[in-house]
Structure 1
Amino acid sequence: MLEALLIFVLQIIYVPVLTLRTILLVKNQTKSAASAGLIEGIIYIISLGIVFKDLSNWMNIAAYVIGFSVGLLLGGFIEKKLALGYITYNVSLLERNDELVNSLRNAGFGVTVFVGEGMNSPRIRLDVVARRSREKEFIQIVQELAPKSFLVSFEIRSFKGGYMTKGMKKKG
């Protein structure tokens, strides 16, 4: 019983570390990802070693599987709270909305305005860059000032230059 509890606890540590390691790797933070991978490897070997020691012990197997599942939930929760990195939003509007543009800029978001050609009429597109941790704030401003806008988001792996670069990195 004690082994099953240990396996469960190790899994709810292991899987969030695995989640964060994957995110760090995707965001090109390889040194941090390697450190997380070291912790992940140690936990993985210990917990699987206990499980493989006695494959007839269904409690250990169940603890591993349930702990993995709970770890996924915890890892997702932690990732959302940390909101590492940056995001870019394309905001499509039917007409120019200077109030929205000014509100976003005053809130500290980087905004570039483009005029495009839609199927039936011209369109305005805003490219907005922000920290992922400010995504809810951004969406709230857009919903308030342009509720019929069409939003598409992209995760940014890296960027260089631009008006907002220094300010965004410092505001962390």
Structure 2
Amino acid sequence: MAPDFLQSDLYLYGVLPLLIFFARICDVTIGTLRIIYVSKGQRRIAPILGFFEVFIWIVAISQIMKNLNNFACYFGYAAGFATGNYIGMLVEERLAIGKVLVRVFSTDNVADLVQILNASGFGATSFQAHGAQGEVSIVYSVINRKNLPDVQSLLLNFNPNLFYVVEDIRKVNKGIFQATVKPKISIFERWRKGK
């Protein structure tokens, strides 16, 4: 029964294009993550992702090569590629891998801003510089990318018209970073809190 179903119009023009569509979503999403891990210097994860990316791609393209006159498969392949790019960006944004540099430029005294960032658990360094409109203060802060929305909120609360730039960083050695994971509490401490 299975071979007859695999030759039916329902499979060839309905199920197969959908399978190719979902396969492409998977391999392009994995490919997006692989590129990010390569750019971050993650040598262990990137090759594993690359293996699965190419394996899924070979399976999808082999089905297209078996059905060259099936334009529904072409459509599934192209739509899966486009959707995979979109989903890959969403997943990458959600994972927020790595660290970023936030560089703030201000003509105001930024000692208060440095204090606000430090009090919130973010390391910050400031120095004076000369810009197009005279003296400026520059604040540097290297943060976990997951904390970027929190830092942006602090900056905009400090001054809604503040000019700042965010850049990806490949590697960092030491620094002051806000914890992104909650500290582990032993089972005995949890029991004590309940009493």
- Check whether TM > 0.5: yes
* Cα distance per residue 1:5-45 (max 9 Å; x no partner): 11011111111100000000000001100000011011010
In the alignment, which residue of structure 1 is the partner of 2:60? 47
CA contact (8 A) 2:110 2:139 kept: no
Structure 2 unaligned residues grouped into runs of 5+: 1-13, 182-195
Q: How many matched pairs?
A: 168
In the alignment, which residue of structure 2 is the partner of 1:146? 159
Alpha-carbon shift at residue 99 of structure 1 (Å) = 2.2
Distance 1:118 1:6 in 2: 56
Specify the structure having the higher radius of gyration (Cα).
Answer: 2
Task: Say which of 16, 22, 25 aligns to 1:12.
Answer: 25
Secondary structure of the equivalent of 1:30?
coil
Matched, 1:29 2:63: no
In the alignment, which residue of structure 2 is the partner of 1:128? 141
Distance 1:120 1:2 in 2: 63
Structure 1 unaligned residues grouped into runs of 5+: none
Matched, 1:115 2:125: no
Task: Say which of 83, 94, 99 aligns to 1:70.
Answer: 83
* Cα distance per residue 1:125-160 (max 9 Å; x no partner): 000111111111111110110222211111000021
In the alignment, which residue of structure 1 is the partner of 2:93? 80
**Partner AA of 2:97 in structure 1:** L
Secondary structure of the equivalent of 2:38?
helix
Alpha-carbon shift at residue 63 of structure 1 (Å) = 0.3
CA contact (8 A) 1:17 1:40 kept: yes
Distance 1:65 1:4 in 2: 10
Sequence identity, in percent? 27
* TM-score scaled by length of structure 1: 0.92
Secondary structure of the equivalent of 2:173?
coil
* TM-score scaled by length of structure 2: 0.82
